[in-house]
Amino acid sequence: MSFTRALVLRKFTPGPEDPSEMLSEGSAIIKSRDWLFNLAMRSAGGLSGLMFVFLAAVFFWRRPLVDRVSLRLIALISLFDLLHCILQTMPKEQDVTRKRWGFFFIDFFSYGSIYLSSSIAFNLQMVFLRKSRTPLPRYVEYLYYIVPLTVCLLHFAPQYIYAATRGWTMNGQDIASRTPEFLLLACLGILFIPYVFVLYNIITSLLVMYSLYTKQKAITRVLNSVSRETHGLLSGSNPSTAHDTLSASASSASISVSPKERQQLKLARRVYKISIRIALYPLAPTVGLVLMSIFYLRQYFVTMTYKSDVHTFVWLTTMSFFVLPVIAFINFVIFLTDPAVLKVISEVRRSIRIKMGRTDNFKSSDSRSRSPGRVVSKKASITISESGALSETMQVDSSSLISTYDLEKTNSYQSDGLFDTPGALEESRPFVSAIDGLQDDAVMRRVRASGDGESDYQDLL
Residue 366 included in any domain = no
pLDDT of residue 13: 42
Q: How far apart are CA 196 and CA 113, in angstroms?
A: 14
Residue 302 included in any domain = yes
Residue 299 included in any domain = yes
Residue 249 included in any domain = no
Give bridge partners of residue 383 from the DSSP assignment. 391
Beta strand 390-394 pairing with 380-384: antiparallel
pLDDT of residue 195: 94
- Which parts of the chain have pLDDT scores under 50? 1-15, 241-242, 244-254, 360, 362-434, 453-454, 457, 459-460
Contact of 23 with 312, CB cutoff 8 Å = no
Residue 224 included in any domain = no
pLDDT of residue 384: 32
Residue 370 included in any domain = no
Domain boundaries, position 152? 18-212+281-345
Give bridge partners of residue 51 from the DSSP assignment. none
DSSP classification of residue 173? T
Residue 351 included in any domain = no
Q: How many domains does the chain contain in total?
A: 1
pLDDT of residue 374: 42
pLDDT of residue 272: 86
Q: What torsion, rounded to 10 degrees, do the Cα atoms 396, 402, 407, 412 define?
A: -60
Q: How far apart are CA 387 and CA 165, in angstroms?
A: 47
Whichever domain contains 26, its CATH number is 1.20.1070.10
pLDDT of residue 115: 95
Contact of 121 with 204, CB cutoff 8 Å = yes
Residue 167 included in any domain = yes
256: CB partners within 8 A, 6+ apart? 250, 432
